[in-house]
Amino acid sequence: MEALLTLGLLGAALGFGLAVAAEKLKVEADERIKGVHERLPQLDCGACGYPGCEAFAEGVIEGEVKNLSACKPGNNKHYSAIIEYLKDHPNEDGSIIKVSK
């Protein structure tokens, strides 16, 4: 009986510790990834070399993607919408993420 109680308390303490650590170490995603993602064709085809549109959008926000035409199913409407979105949502220092069509 004591062993079960000890294991239960230990499990509860470890669970609590993990919950606190998860909250403290949580990394907030840049919400602009969602904004770029919404403006992509959302086919998740992988033609851009990324595993899907969300990863491509992350690449845009992180500055890895320099040319939006890497998204083969995309067209001028998609690319222009993303460029406009990036102009309206600059970095914290006021700089704008530069990408070309």
Per CB under 6 A, residues contacting ligand SF4 are 40-41, 43-48, 50, 52-53, 56, 71-74
How many Cβ atoms are within 10 Å of 24's Cβ, its own excluded? 7
> How far apart (Å, rounded) are the C-alpha atoms in residues 101 and 98?
10
State in angstroms the smallest separation of the CB of 47 from ligand SF4. 4
State in angstroms the smallest separation of the CB of 81 from ligand SF4. 13
State in angstroms the smallest separation of the CB of 91 from ligand SF4. 22
Report residue 6 as tokens.
């000890």
